[in-house]
A and B are shown apart, each in its own frame.
Chain A
Amino acid sequence: MALKPPERPGIQISRGADASAVTEADARAVEGSILTTTVDRVVSWARKNSVWPVQFGLACCAIEMISAAQSRFDIARFGSELFRASPRQADLMIVSGRVSQKMAPVLKHIYEQMLDPKWVIAMGDCASCGGVFNNYALVQGVDKLVPVDVYVAGCPPRPEALLFGFTKLQELIARGRPLRRLS
């Protein structure tokens, strides 16, 4: 008995001797409830939907970051239910604020304590490039210290801007970038 070509790609059920064993309707029902993908994509999907930032509010941007976590803007709906105090339990560092010379080694230390995979969002102009300030006291951009994945511009960026940067990070994670290695 020749198989009919299926209306759409999917599982082919070969009818054995007993034609009543599996019907086309059964086959379609089974097909509709199986998702084929790769392990990487599933893992990326899980990771991007549960990114937990470490509490790293430095300056003014920290206030907008807190606002982004509160009820009006609500970062929790994107998966960041909790901002962890311990870097060992976090996978995202949102550098919100200016990084002074004295704070730079501390930032590096906290970053190193985070476990892979980890990401960094440079929130605000000071973290991205030094911002309004260009002087002896500040590191001109946190990318001089740690690798940055997403830069969110603004002084301070609106909570919606931070959330947009966050969704961009989620896209990045979904694309499955290779694990970051410290240079």
Chain B
Amino acid sequence: MSELARETLVLNMGPHHPSTHGVLRLMLELEGEVILRTEPVIGYLHTGFEKEMETRTYHQNIVFPPRIEYLATMIEEHAYVLAVEKLLGVRAPERAETIRIILAELSRIASHLVWLGTSAVDVNVTSMLMYCFNDRERIMDIFEMVSGQRMMHGYMRVGGLQWDVPAGFVEQVRAVADDLPGRLDEYERLLTDNLIWRERTEGIAVLSHDDALRYGCTGPIARGSGVNYDVRKAFPYGGYEAYDFDVPLGSRGDSFDRYTVRVEEMRQSRRIILQALDRLRDGPVMVDDRKVALPPRAELVRSIEAVIHQFKLVSEGFHPPVGEVYSAVESPRGEKGYYLVSDGGNQPVRARVRSPSFNNLQALPVMIFRHMVSDVVVAIASIDIVLGDGDVDR
């Protein structure tokens, strides 16, 4: 009998699985139904972004970021263009920065809504997916209004924005921001005091404060464990230093804390959006540096230099100085950073994407040790990985 008791079963979960939130494969070593060891196998969505980005100019590379993290597309674009701007030593004009912040925070809300909907569906609150995606559709409409695309925008450019926002943008954003608290209150009523939700998430997949630091976890998963680190506060970028918002922290580091942190983050994002709408002033949306940004078309008929700049920028792209930079933003998953190495040419020598989900997922085996198989679903949902690819596999 003692041999039977010690026998373990290896259960393969994924890569095709309804609850792994993407193509993640987990090899779970079980003793009965209790998990002893976990080995996540990733790479099922490896796309070769970093290699592709080495073969294109900095401007051409703008197509890749939204496909890396496809749930928070505007934030990913923001991350990339900020890194290139840091390398060049330029700063986008104020109106562009304000609009970028509005779109980034809307993107954060959209991503958290997807997370909330899919996490709830994993615990079988199936109506939540419908509600959350419905709200998300309104944000997609705003993105479509500014850039023409619901998801892969290419709206944020190096030095500013593709073009100015159309009329009606402010009203539509304000409408979304006004309706948001009511919707979030409804979702909290549905989940927070729900016995089943609490039983499924409280005490599940606890990540300790020290483990979060050890594995380099960032974002709500770390803040749920009490790590007070938000890139927007620690290394402010793109104008965030002027905004007033709180960073919610959890204390126990379980799935329930991560849930409350993310819902509160949505409310704080709304706070930032309202401040940004009040700050929005008229002005240019693209930097005036002709070595970086195309000249306005009216200038082309007047100035031969403008024509030469236009020609050089379109046929070759700009040449940043020799050097390397690392620039990070706070994505809904954690610290999303771009490490760009330039040798002075028009294409990066190395474009490294520091993806939060890669580091966060490393902590999964520690989190689900001695849990049951059904808790794995809740644990993966609470990490909020954009897996399968973009983020983890690049």
Which residue numbers of A lie inside 8 Å of B, CB to CB?
A: 55-60, 62-64, 66-67, 70-72, 85, 87, 97-98, 100-103, 106, 110, 132-138, 155-156, 158
Residues of A within 8 A of B152 (CB): 60, 155-156
Cβ contact of B48, chosen from A64, A103, A137, cutoff 8 A: A137
B45–A158 CB distance below 8 A: no
* Closest residue of B by beta carbon distance from A60: B70
Q: If the complex has contacts A64-B151, A102-B46, A158-B150, are A56 and B137 also in contact, measured as CB distance less than 8 A? A: no
Q: With A58-B388, A135-B52, A158-B150 given, is the CB distance from A72 to B133 under 8 Å?
A: yes
Q: Is the CB of B48 within 8 A of A136?
A: yes
Known A-B contacts A64-B151, A103-B23; the reply to A59 vs B389 at CB < 8 A is yes
Most buried by B among A56, A59, A66, A70: A59
What 0/1 pattern do residues 127 to 158 of B give for CB contact below 8 A with A? 00110011011001000000000111000000
Tell yes or no: B378 within 8 A of A by CB: no
For B140, the chain A residues whose CB sits under 8 A away are 67
CB B6 to nearest CB in A, in angstroms, measures 32
Contact B52 A58 (CB under 8 A): no
- Contact assessment for A138 and B137 in the assembled complex, using a CB-CB cutoff below 8 Å: no
Given A60-B70, A63-B70, do A71 and B44 touch, yes or no (CB 8 Å)?
Answer: no
A85 and B393 CA atoms in complex are apart in Å by: 23
Q: Please provide the chain B residues from 323 to 365 with a CB less than 8 Å away from any CB of chain A in the complex.
A: none
The interface residues of chain B lying within 8 Å CB-to-CB of A156 are 150-152
- Closest-CB distance, A22 to chain B (whole angstroms): 54
Chain B residues with CB under 8 Å of A56's CB are 16
Question: Within 8 Å CB of B48, what residues of A?
Answer: 133, 135-138
Contacts A56-B16, A72-B133 given; does A98 touch B44 at CB 8 Å = no
Is the beta-carbon distance between B64 and A71 smaller than 8 angstroms?
A: no
Chain B residues positioned under 8 Å from A57 (CB to CB): 22
Whether B284 sits at the interface, judged by CB under 8 Å, is: no
CB <8 Å contact, A100 and B45: yes
> Which residues in B have their C-beta under 8 angstroms from that of A67?
133, 136-137, 140
A17–B68 alpha-carbon span in the complex (Å): 82
Whether a CB of chain A sits under 8 angstroms from the CB of B67 is yes
